[in-house]
Amino acid sequence: MKCIIEGNNLRHSHLEVIDEINHLRRRTCNTKINCINREANKVADILAKKTCSGGDFTWPSPPNEVIEQLTLDSMGIT
């Protein structure tokens, strides 16, 4: 997040993604970036783990684990 907010990302390994985020932020008024821990956002945690373990970055539909977690979230179960 620091690279995105401060813009000092010249040597970051995800330079292209950071540049795209900053491009979108410039096109949109009043953007705000918040850090949410993985423990507080279990769907993001599931997706991050899938991509880190060599999974695809895009899916034709949400993975089953995501649907299950969204169902639990909607019922107030953590």
pLDDT of 1 > 60? The answer is: no
Q: What is the pLDDT of residues 12-60, one digit of tens each?
A: 677 788 788 888 888 887 878 788 777 788 998 888 888 776 655 677 8
Per domain, the residue ranges of the chain are 1-35, 38-74
Which runs of consecutive H residues, i.e. helices, occur in 1-78? 2-6, 15-27, 42-52, 64-74
Q: How far apart are CA 48 and CA 41, in angstroms?
A: 11
Contact assessment for residue 19 and residue 25, using Cβ atoms and an 8 Å cutoff: no
- Is the model's pTM score more than 0.75? no
The two tokens of residue 29 are: 């008024």
